Every structure is written in structure tokens, then in C-alpha cells.
Amino acid sequence: MAADRRSSWLKGVLDLLVLSCLTAGESYGYEIAKALATAGLGEIKGGTLYPVLNRLEEAGLATGEFRATERGPGRRYYRLTEAGRRALAEQSASWLEFHRAVRTTLYPGGTGDMS
């Protein structure tokens, strides 16, 4: 049940997290999933991640480019657009405001402050 809740919470912020993963430069799906897992967000499967990447690309927040490789299948590399950088900044501020509201509600006396 805890995994179901975590998955539900992640869906609400996954677009933002993927945009954030692209701030350091271009990346491809497996690298993004690995970065999210390393951050403690668990395994993000391709069936969840690739629709997010497609949605971000369709919205003009990221661009993708397919590249062939010498060995194995080619990869689609993604990078942020200027609109993606603006959206990341705006959505990050909104998320942090929401996070503060949730934290204040959960810990009204200030106990459990995780700042």
C-alpha cells in the first residue's frame, strides 16, 4: 500500500523531476530513470517515463533527437528548451509552496520540520 501512495505522489511531480534531470544537459530515458532512482524515488519504468518525455516534447518543454549507436539500439536524447527552463523555474516555485503547505498541515506545531 505504501508503494501505491508513493506512486500516486510521484505521478503528480514526475514531469517536474524529469525537467530537472535535464538541467545539466541532454540525457536519454535510461539515464533519467537511473538518476531518479539514485535520488531515492524508486524504479521508474519505461511505460511511465517515456509518456512523460513525449508529453514534455509535445508541449515544447524538451526536444528529442534519435541517434544511432555503433552497438545496440539507438537512443533518443532529450534536452530542455528555453520554455522548459522557464516552466521548470515556475513549477519548482509552485511545488515548493505546495510542499510547505503540506508540511505545515502535517506538522502544525513545527515538529518534524524537514527544512
Domain 2-106 adopts which CATH fold?
A: Arc Repressor Mutant, subunit A (1.10.10)
Which pLDDT belongs to residue 109? 81
Domain positions in the chain = 2-106
| pLDDT over 80 (residue 1) | no
**Average model confidence (pLDDT) for the chain?**
91
Residues 6+ apart with CB under 8 A from 56: 15, 18, 19, 62, 78, 84
Strand partners of residue 55: none
This prediction has a pTM of: 0.86
Average pLDDT over residues 96-100: 94
